Amino acid sequence: MVKDLFNSRKRRDRLSIIAEILEIARKGVLKTKIMYQANLSFAQLNDYISLLLDLNLLKTLKVSERNIYETTDKGSRFLQRFGEIREIMVKESDVKNGNSLHLVKRGTRVVSL
């Protein structure tokens, strides 16, 4: 569900990157797998992992002296709600064509393009 929303690799917003990391880490993965699958630099990855650990959206498990990162229950709830919000924001016909809804602020109003 949420994974399908990451197909276009245009400029991603912070919440999309967070959701992508949490999706990748659902079953527990090494840091390098997150880095490559989310297409992040090592520095970016460390910043996001620190944030997600602080917010209790991600947890660290020690397995054979290696850190495994896994999405917490709170992180799974975030993914669920994030997916629901994205579905509301994306037109059904645009999803089929791979295009997403774009919102632009015009003065005090927000309009869709």
The residue ranking higher by pLDDT, 93 or 49, is 49
Of 78, 100, 83, which Cα lies nearest the Cα of 91? 100
Q: Above 70 in pLDDT, residue 103?
A: no
pLDDT at position 38: 94
CA atoms within 13 A on the CB side of 65: 0
Residue with tokens 């999706």: 23
Residue 39's pLDDT is what? 94
Q: Identify the pLDDT of residue 85.
A: 85
Name the domain count of the chain: 1
pTM check: above 0.75: no
pLDDT tens digits for range 18-56: 999 999 999 999 999 999 999 999 999 999 999 999 999
100: Cα within 13 Å, side-chain hemisphere: 17
CATH classification at residue 9:
1.10.10.10
As a whole number of angstroms, the distance between CA 48 and CA 23 comes to 14
Domain with 17, as residue range(s), is 3-112
